[in-house]
Structures are given as C-alpha cells and as structure tokens.
A and B are shown apart, each in its own frame.
Chain A
C-alpha cells in the first residue's frame, strides 16, 4: 500500500511540476459582435482526446508543439497567439475549421459528435 501511495505522490508531483494538469473550465472563445459567445467545454474534450490532437504549432505540416508548454498561464498557447488577423488562418476561421471540421468528421462515425450549425455554439444570452 505504501509503495502505491509513493508512486501516486510522485505522479502528482510530476504532473503539477510540469503544469500538465487539467484545465477544467469552459473557455469563452468569444464571438463576433452580434453572434453569441462560444463557451467551449474544455474539460469535456480532455476526457476524449489527447491534448496534441487540438493544440498545435504547425511547421511544414508537422505539429512541433512541446506538450510541456501547455500551461494555463502561458500566453503563447492561446489560439489567438498565432491565429491573429495577420495570419493566413485568422482566429475565427481557425475555430470554425477546427471545431466544426472535427464535429463533421465524427458525423461519419458511429461515435457521438458535437454541434455544427451556427446557433448551436453561438448561443445568445437571453
């Protein structure tokens, strides 16, 4: 029993030391002025997917992002850090491609999938 606890402690230390812990809130991805803000359920996605399936730093078609950079207070891991209006894929397009694209891909499988039409994500505040 003692060894299991020790191993567990080591794991916890490692995870917290490297910042690889679950960011578990819904993230407000924003939305254009008249459409509602998109509340992205991050934790919900963390349960199903590997971090690097979404988080990326593409260089020559390859994801070169270091998983250990995924810390909550690291401003460089925010999507908008790269996907700004100057880039080829700006922020809104990046979100639309990644979110709706993945949801559409899962339509083709028997697995459950997420919303694909505008108002299913952009929910207006009543």
Chain B
C-alpha cells in the first residue's frame, strides 16, 4: 500500500498545514494573554520607598581601596562568569529559537502567499548554518542531562520530552530542507506538526518561561529583576 496516497494521510497532511495552524496560533496567543493576566492577578502593586538590589544587581567595590565599582568582579560572580560556556550555549539557543524561524525564507514565502505579508528573510545558507547551531546547542543540553551527574540528578522524563519538543522543529526542518528522506511530505508534515505542538505547549507547560521571563523580570521584584519591579507576591 502506498502510504502517501491513503485517505487518512492526505487528510492529515491538509489538516496539519491548514486548520491546525490556526488552532495552534489561537491557543498560543490566547494562552499567552491568559498567562499574562493570571500572573499579574497573583501579584499586587507595592509602593517602593527604596529598592535594595538583589545579589544579581549588587556591584562590588574595588578591592584596592579605590571607591570604584569592580565590574570584572561583578561579571565573575554572575552566572555568566561562573559558567561562561553554558551561558553562551543557552543564550544562543534561546535567541535563535525565537528569532530564527521568523526570518526563514520558506516561512516568509508562505506568509507572503497567504496574507501578502512580506518580511525580510535570511539568506538560505545562513538559516541552514543557524539551524545547525540550534541543533548543536540542543545536543549539548541532551548531553548534560544524560552524562553530567548534577544535571541528571534533577532531570525527569518531562525534561527530555520538552527538549525533544523544542528541538524537533529544527531537526525536521533541517531534514526537510536538505530532503534527506525520500518521503518529503512526511518530513514537512512532521516539521509543521512539531512547530504547532511546541507553540501550543508554550502557555501551558514549562515552556511558559518564555512568557513569564518577560513579565517577571520587568514587573516583579526579585534578585534578577530588570528595571524597577513595582509588583510583589
């Protein structure tokens, strides 16, 4: 039986690249708005007389007695100073994970064809390279979860699941672009499906840190808050 011609398969293919895209975006944006409001409703405004900076915002004085801030020491004490490699890997992964898909040529051509929305795209070779970087970063995360004792100790099965879910759109996208497998339809469907699942998972699973990071850092007082947090638990 030719798998690519069965009724179920053609239906699934059309559903995944049609209505499912809308469902995914509605769940993602609806869920995001819901989460923003639910976090804000859990906190309340506070009046700040004097904000004491947390450890992350504390800048030590120079040891040689001069009354100057020691930025080198500050960097060394920060997470980036303690673990620079993982800081670079993690930051690269997170930035590319969000920014890169927006500027992939294939995505933008589909957007343009559907809505006449034409945005700037990365050259194909650059997207390809950045995709490999994202996959490598994910591989480093996986390696740590598997082989670094102190990371493995706090790893549960769901951590693997979400790492897989985050990396899947990039791996399948890479395979689809290079047409590694004979059945292109299957790979491109898996690519779209994994992207949709990831989007839908954002507001309701641990991926919610994508939304919470922004509001938490900017509105709620903590050791890592950016700017004046004027809300508290």
Contact = CB atoms under 8 A, between A and B. Distances in A.
Please determine whether chains A and B interact with each other in the same assembly: yes
Interface of A: 32-36, 93, 96-97, 100-101, 107, 116-120, 123-124
Interface of B: 14, 17, 106, 109, 112-113, 124-125, 128, 176-179, 184-185, 188
Nearest to B105: A32
A124 B175 CA distance: 12
A116 B176 CA distance: 14
Contact of B109 (A33, A96, A119): A96
B179 A119 contact: yes
A97 B179 contact: no
Contacts of A97: 113
Contacts of A100: 113
Contacts of A119: 176-177, 179, 184, 188
13 contacts: A34-B124, A96-B109, A96-B112, A96-B113, A101-B113, A107-B14, A117-B185, A117-B188, A118-B106, A118-B109, A118-B176, A119-B184, A120-B188
A86 to B, nearest CB: 17
B17 A117 contact: yes
Q: Which secondary structure dominates where chain B touches chain A?
A: helix
A69 B19 CA distance: 42
B188 A32 contact: no
A97 B110 CA distance: 10
Which of A33, A36, A119 has its CB near the most chain B CB atoms (within 10 A)?
A: A119
B17 A33 contact: no
Contacts of A96: 109, 112-113
Contacts of A120: 184-185, 188
A83 B7 CA distance: 38
Contacts of A32: 124
Nearest to A33: B124
Contacts of B17: 116-117
B231 to A, nearest CB: 45
A32 B128 CA distance: 15
Contacts of B124: 32-35
Contacts of A107: 14
B125 A34 contact: yes
Given A33-B124, A116-B17, A124 B185 contact: no
Nearest to B188: A117
B113 A123 contact: no
A117 B113 contact: no
A96 B106 CA distance: 12
B60 to A, nearest CB: 50
Nearest to A119: B184
B178 A124 contact: yes
A100 to B, nearest CB: 6
